[in-house]
Amino acid sequence: MGGKAILFVVLGFSLTFLVIGQNFNRVTLKATDNMTNYANVQISHNIALTGANISCNAFYLDPNWTAGYSNVSCQGGTYTVTYQLMDAVKLIKRITSISTFQGFNGYSLNTYHDTVIVTFQPSRFSRYAYYSTSEGGTIYWATGDTVKGPLQTQDYLRVSGNPVFLGMVGTKLGVIKKNGSSDHPQFLGGLLTGSDVPINSSGVSSVETFALANGFEFAGHDTVYLNFKGDSLKYRYAWNTKDTTKLISTMVPNGVLFVKNGTARIRGTVKGQLTLGCSYVSKGGSVYLDSSITYNTNPITTPSSTDILGVVTQNNFIIEDNKANSNNVAIQGSIYCQTGSFTADNYSTRAYCGYINLLGGIVQATRGAVGIIGGGGTITNGFSKNYSYDRRFMFSAPPNFPNTGAYNVISWYE
Half-sphere exposure of 271 (CA within 13 A, CB side): 10
Residue with Cβ nearer another protein (49 or 363): 49
Length of the chain (residues): 414
Q: From the CA atom positions of the chain, what is the Rg in Å?
A: 31
Residue 245's DSSP bridge partners are 234
414, 116 Cβ separation under 8 angstroms: yes
158, 179 Cβ separation under 8 angstroms: no
360, 385 Cβ separation under 8 angstroms: no
Q: What is the dihedral of CA 82, 87, 90, 91, to 10 degrees?
A: 20
Residue with Cβ nearer another protein (193 or 411): 411
- Cβ-count burial of 339 within 10 angstroms (0-12 exposed, 13-18 middle, 19+ buried)? middle
Residue with Cβ nearer another protein (92 or 142): 92
Residue with Cβ nearer another protein (116 or 337): 116
Binding mask 110-139 for another protein (x = CB under 8 A): ---------x-x------------------
188, 170 Cβ separation under 8 angstroms: no
Rounded least distance, CB 53 to another protein, Å: 10
Q: Does 8 bind another protein (CB under 8 A)?
A: no
Q: Which segment (60-68, 69-77, 161-169, 321-329) binds another protein by CB under 8 A? A: 161-169
Which SS3 state, helix, strand or coil, does residue 133 take?
Answer: strand
Q: Does 391 bind another protein (CB under 8 A)?
A: yes
Residue 183 neighbours by CB distance under 10 Å: 20
Site for another protein in 167-226 (CB under 8 A): 167-168, 187-191
Residue with Cβ nearer another protein (153 or 315): 153
Question: Which ranges in 131-264 belong to alpha helices (H)?
Answer: 203-214, 248-251
Q: Does 60 bind another protein (CB under 8 A)?
A: no
What 8-state DSSP symbol labels residue 402?
Answer: P
Q: Does 41 bind another protein (CB under 8 A)?
A: yes
Binding mask 81-110 for another protein (x = CB under 8 A): -----x-----x------------------
Q: Does 54 bind another protein (CB under 8 A)?
A: no
Residue from 16, 202, 249, 326 touching another protein (CB under 8 A): that is 16
Q: Does 302 bind another protein (CB under 8 A)?
A: no
Q: Which residues bind another protein (CB under 8 A)?
A: 9, 16, 20, 23-24, 27-28, 30-31, 34-35, 37-38, 41, 86, 92, 119, 121, 149-150, 166-168, 187-191, 391-392, 394-395, 408-414
